[in-house]
Structure 1
């Protein structure tokens, strides 16, 4: 196996670790030139497409690319919650420490609590990006 193939498998495995299933409907918010294209391609390979953030569909996964200077995280999380299925999840993708746009974990925790989500896990999503899995607490599901 070549190093390139191994790296590609690693990115594909990340898409699986994100909980992306072949039948998942995935959207993204915060796309910009600095996102990790390999991760996006792995997600697309896994589920077929990333639907536009203005979709009317109920989505299973929201990929939220977020940087320090992107504005109000609470407001954006509220917007991300809108198309989300009751059992869906948001992956909050932020630049790793030392990278431009890094977001302090305390800022993430505060925003997550304010919106009423739970942060259930963290992963090394890509070379420059960390991921935090956010879900609606089970007691709050189905009450919207």
Structure 2
């Protein structure tokens, strides 16, 4: 059961009850308490990478060893494919000093290449920071 601090972190993402959140690059190092608090808040299990229906948001767990910036661009494009209009992508990266840390600039560069921009960051969990990416409006 998530603690009140973990539930508060889940609320920072702006998720609401009934939303479907698709998760990418799940691995054994993800923050399970945060995942559980998101599921408790939305009332839905996180959808896996194979989910092909419309989603309200996407959450990507990204580490430096996962691949290079071009691969993140591809993943951002894949994650946006199922998003309902106005849906956000949250890129979770290990915090500075943690194994697998990714520079903010690397995520921002990948987002720009994918036609997105970073609009916020959240101290998501003990070892993870999250960057909110939104799709750029045409002509921007």
Shift of 1:20: 1.0
TM-score using structure 1 length: 0.88
SS in 1 for 2:125: coil
SS in 2 for 1:52: coil
TM-score using structure 2 length: 0.91
Instruction: Output one character per residue of 1:21-67: Cα deviation in whole Å (capped at 9) or x when no partner.
Output: 00211110010000000100001101121122211211011110000
Instruction: Output one character per residue of 1:107-138: Cα deviation in whole Å (capped at 9) or x when no partner.
Output: 1111010001121101100000000001112x
Correspondence for 1:79: 78
Correspondence for 1:32: 27
SS in 2 for 1:62: strand
Determine the C-alpha separation between the residues in 2 that align with 1:54 and 1:127.
Answer: 28
Unpaired segments ≥5 residues, structure 1? none
Correspondence for 2:56: 60
Determine the C-alpha separation between the residues in 2 that align with 1:108 and 1:56.
Answer: 25
Structure with the greater alpha carbon radius of gyration: 1
Runs ≥4 in structure 1, deviation > 6 angstroms? none
Shift of 1:76: 1.1
Correspondence for 1:97: 96
Determine the C-alpha separation between the residues in 1 that align with 2:72 and 2:48.
Answer: 20
Unpaired segments ≥5 residues, structure 2? none
